[in-house]
Every structure is written in structure tokens, then in C-alpha cells.
Amino acid sequence: MSGHGTSLRRYALTRLALVLPMVFILLTMVFLLMRVAPGDPISASLGGRVPPAVVKQIRHQLGFDKPLYTQYWNYLWDTIRGNFGTTITDRLPITEIIRVNGAATLELTIAAMFVAITVGVIVGLVCGRYRDTPIDATGRLYGIVIYAVPPFFLGLLAQLIFGVWLGWLPVSDRASPIVQATLQTHTNLFLIDTLIDRQWYAFWDCVKHLILPATTLGLVISGIFVRLIRVNVIRTLRDDYVEAARARGIDEHTVVFSHAFRNALVPVITIVGLQMALLLGGAILTETTFNWPGIGKELVNYLQNRDYAAVQGIIIVFALVVVAVSVVIDFVNALIDPRIRY
Amino acid sequence: MAQVAVPRATRPRRLLPGVRRAVEPIREARGFAKAMLWAGAGITGFFILIAIIAPLISPYGFDQYQADGKRFPQLAPPSHEHLWGTTVQSVDVMSRVIYGTQTELKVVILSLAFSLLIGVPVGLISGYFGGPLDRALVLIMDALFAFPYLLLAIVIAFLLSSTVGSSVVVAAIAITVVYIPQYFRVVRNHVVSVREESYVEAARAIGAKPFTIMRKYVFFNVVQNVPVIATLNAADAVGTLAALGFLGYGIQPSEGAEWGYDIQRAVSDTASGIWWTGLFPGFALVLLVTGLTLLGEGLNETINPVLRRRKIVKFELGSTEGEAEAGAISEAD
């Protein structure tokens, strides 16, 4: 067997090579769905508002008048070069939407992940530690019920309680209008932008706007963390080395905290990766509920305007993000665990 | 457990042994699994009952906004005439929630039927024959599976809504596409391992045709996991339908009441402190999804031998009761 470094590199290369057919199939599926579907995308998105000559011109500009295989080829080639197309309704490049609205989605999803991991790890560890007690039952019930709550309903409850009845927190947008007007955008991540400029008031304003959407999305996802971490703890507590630690007379508290919990938390990174699809789906709903200007909200807007080009571009981005995250997660896992190799 | 063994001898033998084998673990469920199973069955049964008797118990129609020529008040808080209040279109909230049960269950049953009818046979054939078709199908299904499922359902519903229009069937198809890969994967992977078993080889040796082998030897060995997945998917499907409704790609409001759509309409009401339009459909949705999840998880823990726990066996000196119990049950298997 060759050294550790080379085999890890081989693993990474093989994993990357396996991604290519997956990406190709995803791209082909999106193309088939969006282009071969009946109906004319251009007139659908522009409605009856534009004269036929203009429709024809736009169709020519976007290459919709070429044969299907040429369109397919151009589409693949453009996507590989990082050109995801231009929206039909407002002629924005998709990359621009990703840059501006993607940052909003990133901010929301990172904050939500933080909430999900915090809540999920604590409840999961406690449930696993006190297996089959009323505490465990309560925690498991929490996991099941919170997973059953759709993000938009949890969001509605949060808006009602904290926004309207208590009046503590804002329920829509990323920042107050005044903050948004004066904000200098560097990264489009408002929390970081305000920190760079040391705008403390603006920073606090953005935090307040982020709390409800992030908690809503985070809590919904935390249900899965509770379940998986609980099972992990139970499995770890049965492992030989935990038994060995007990046999050496180490007190239960230390056994649980420094021997079992730490190892039970290793798979969390995998769970984070597996929840990407759920997280993005949840983000679409959370953004719509809280009027959060992320990619999901944009997607819903473009869907309503029947803008096929925009929908296609945004879907590709979503799909690529999911694939990319799964590769990164596999790679990190291989880095941590030397047993994972091809 | 000795009591169980006596009536078993008197029972007519070979009467649906498969059914008995499937039901046995349910009777043996213990603790949280048992609680989940029965609570889930109770809640699900309750909603099925509501759906069936909806026309009898609903105070008004799902899109009725007037009675005796008098229009209902708009956004009226809960009162005697309207126990759960009315919406901005003057429709009775309680009636919409009750009729919504029908819609949710209709779509779930349809989508489950579609995805079972497609996913299971395709998985069976793909796994049994293998070859390039199998490899291609696995790649496609994996790609579908990697896709954010809600996004996939939205796109399908969007494409269908612009050509076919939206209805119960369209919503069911959009949800079906999401769940086919799951059945395909489970069935296909199971078939691949069962295919090499000696009893299948024996069947092949006596000259059974591939489809006979699939139907008689393979099918019943690979469908055991399907009920659990189907129940858990049913829970997910309700959530997906509500999400589609929330985004405006579910059921047309004139065609049926749908909770997700109602919640979407209610989001704008909350700003003025109106809670009854969103809270009731929301709680119904959460309760139904919870019920189905509990049922699925309960089934999973009772049927799946890896998760199954019959009775906690504590090794304490002087107490062999637990051990004896566990021994008796595994003997009964």
C-alpha cells in the first residue's frame, strides 16, 4: 500500500471523477425538463405584452430558434464556463442573482445550520445519554413533531408571537429600509458588511432581522440532528472502548462526556451534508414566508412570471451546490477517517 | 409467552403465513415503539375518519361564502356561527380545515399508488436483469435523489401547471416523481442481493421464467421494507403538498380546500394580528404529518430487526425474568 498522502489524493480524484457523470445527468435532466416541455417559454414569460417581432428577436438572441441539439450543446458549454444564462423578464444574468441573492441565502442557511446543530446536538446527546427515560421520550417526540412542522407554518407562528403580539422582532426583509439604503455592500453578507464598516447599529438591525427566519429554518432541520445524534450516542455507549473505560473505574460522567460524546459527534459533518437538499428546500419556503431576498424567493418570483430561463439557471445552481457539498463532505470524511478509501 | 404457544397450535396452519409473520412483531412491540405505533395509528385513523365523514360534520362547504343569501362576515373572529372564524373571502375556516383532510389524503394516496406502481416494478426488473439498463437507471435515479426534493416537485408542478393545469392528479404526479427513486433504490438493491440466493438459483434450475421468479420468489422477499417507507413517505408527501400549495402550485382553491394554500393566504393576515386563518390549518397539518411519522417510525422500530427492542433485558443477579422473556420470543420466531 502506498503512503497515506497518495491514497487520499487518489480518493479525492476518483470522487471528483465520479461527480462528472452525475453533473452531466443533472444538466441533461434540467434541459429536458425545461426545453422539451410543451409550450413556448418566450411567449409564456412575456405574455401578450410584446409584439411578435420582438418575441422573435428575443428568441433569436437566446438561441431558441436553433435546432434542439445545438441548443443542448450551447447550454452545456455555457454552463461549464460558468454562464448560467440570462433571465427573460428582466434580462439579468443568473450569475448576478447568485452574487446578490445567493449571499442572502448563504447568510440565512449558515445561521440556520448553527441553530440546528446547537439544538440538535444538545437534545440528541441528552436523549442518547438517558435512553428510554421520560427525558428521552420527550426529546424524541420533539424531534418528530418539529420535523412535521413545515417551515412556513413555524414561520407564521414566530411572526405572530414575536413579531405581532410581543413586537420584539421584525418579520420581513434583511434590514430596515434606512439601514439597507445606507449600507455599503462588500460581500453582500450584511452581517459581515456592517462589521467591516463598524456600523454597530446596522449590525444589530441585521441580526434582529435574521433571528426569526434562521431560528425557523434551523429548528425544522434540528429534528434530524436529534434523531441521528441520539442513535450515535446509544451506539457509542455500547462500544468496547466505553466499556473498557468504565471497567477501568473512570466515573460515568467522564466516560460519557470525554469518551462517548466526542465520538458520537464525528458523523455530524455527514449529517450536515445530507441535509443540504432539505436545507435548500426549507430555505425556499422560509425566504418566501419572511420575504427574505434570497435565491429561493427569487426562484418563486421567476416561477410566477413563468421565466423559464431564470428558473433553469437557478435550478442548475441549486443542483450544483448540492453536488459540490456532497463532494466536500466526502472529502472531509476521508480526511478524518483513514478507512474511507476506494 | 407460553400462553401464545397454545392457541397457535389450534390455529389453522398455513393460513396466510406471510400476514402472520408481518403482524407478529406489531403485537410484540414494547415501550416507545408501541406508543408511537398506536398514537400514530390513532391520529391517522382519526384523519381518515374525518375525511370520510367530512360532508356530514362540516358546518359549510369548503368554498361557501354565504348562506340564505346572506354573505358571511370577512375575517370574523371565532364565534358561534363560525367556530374557527372566517377568512378574507368570508369562507368558514373550520369547513376548509375539515375538507382539507380529504384533499391531503386523496393526493397522498394517489401519489403513493403512482410511485409504488412505478418504483417497485422498475426496481425489480432493473435489479434482476442488471446490465447497462440497470446502470443507466441507477445513475438517473441517483441524480433525481440528489436533487432537492421540494425543488423537483415545484419544477414538475410548474411545468405541468402551464400545460395541463393544476388539480389533485397533477399535484400527485409532482410528488410521485420525488418518491420513485426511493422505492427504486430500496427494491433494486434488495433484489440484487436476493438474486444470488440459492432458492432463486434453484427456481432458475428447474426452468422457471424470469418473470415467474420475480413474481413468486423475489417479490415477497423484497417488499417487506416497502410499507415502512410508504408510511414515512406519506408523511413527507403531506408536507410536500402543503409546500406546493403554499407556493401556489397545489390545488386550485375552487377545486378543493388545501391547508398549505390557506396558510399562504394567512401569512398576510398575521401582520394585523389575525391568528385563526393560519393557526387551524397549520395545526391540522402538523398533527397529520406527526401521526403518519409516528406510525412509520413505530412500524420501522417494530419490523426492522436492527432497531427492534422487545423488552429491556437487565443483567441483574437474581432476576432472570427478562432473559427468559427474550428467549421465549426469539424461540417463537
Among B130-139, B157-166, B184-193, the least confident range: B157-166
Of A269, A271, A252, give the one whose Cα is nearest residue A129.
A252
Residue B11 has pLDDT above 60, yes or no: no
DSSP string, A70-101: HHHHHHHHHHHTT---B-SSS--BHHHHHHHH
Give the pLDDT band (50/70/90) at residue A8. Answer: confident
Which of A38, A163, A288 is nearest residue B247 as measured by Cβ atoms?
A: A288
In chain B, positions 140-199, which contact chain A (CB-CB < 8 Å)? Answer: 140, 142-144, 146-151, 154-156, 158-159, 162-163
Which of A21, A280, A306 is nearest residue B148 as measured by Cβ atoms?
A: A280
Backbone angles phi, psi at B71, to 5 degrees: -75, 140
Residue B231 or B28, more confident? B231
Residue B307 or B36, more confident? B36
Give the pLDDT band (50/70/90) at residue A58. Answer: confident
Q: How far apart are CA B131 and CA B129, in angstroms?
A: 6
CA distance to partner chain B, nearest, from residue A147 (Å):
8
**Closest Cα in chain B to A227:** B297
**CB-CB under 8 Å, A29 with B144:** yes
Q: Provide the pLDDT for residue B329.
A: 40
Q: Provide the pLDDT for residue B241.
A: 92
Residues of B in Cβ contact (< 8 Å) with A300: 247
Q: How far apart are CA B69 and CA B62, in angstroms?
A: 17
Residue B290 has pLDDT above 90, yes or no: yes
Q: What average pLDDT does range A128-152 have in this prediction?
A: 88
Q: Provide the pLDDT for residue B161.
A: 77
Measured at the CA of B287, the angle between CA B165 and CA B161, to 5 degrees, comes to 10
CA distance to partner chain A, nearest, from residue B14 (Å):
37
Of B7, B22, B61, B51, give the one whose Cα is nearest residue B223.
B22
Condensed to tens digits (0 to 9), the pLDDT of residues A145-185 reads 898 899 999 999 998 899 888 888 888 888 777 777 777 77
Condensed to tens digits (0 to 9), the pLDDT of residues B40-66 reads 999 999 999 998 988 888 878 777 777
Give the pLDDT band (50/70/90) at residue A242. Answer: confident
Q: What cell does B285 get?
A: 397539518
Please tell me the pTM assigned to this model.
0.83
CB A290 within 8 A of CB A299: no
User: ipTM of this complex > 0.90?
Assistant: no
Q: Provide the pLDDT for residue B331.
A: 35
Q: How far apart are CA B146 and CA A19, in angstroms?
A: 12
CB A317 within 8 A of CB A295: yes
**CB-CB under 8 Å, B260 with A160:** no
Per the prediction, chain A carries an average pLDDT of: 82
* Range ranked top by mean pLDDT from A261-270, A288-297, A305-314: A288-297
Per the prediction, chain B carries an average pLDDT of: 79
B265 contacts chain A (CB < 8 A): no
Of A11, A2, A16, give the one whose Cα is nearest residue A337.
A11
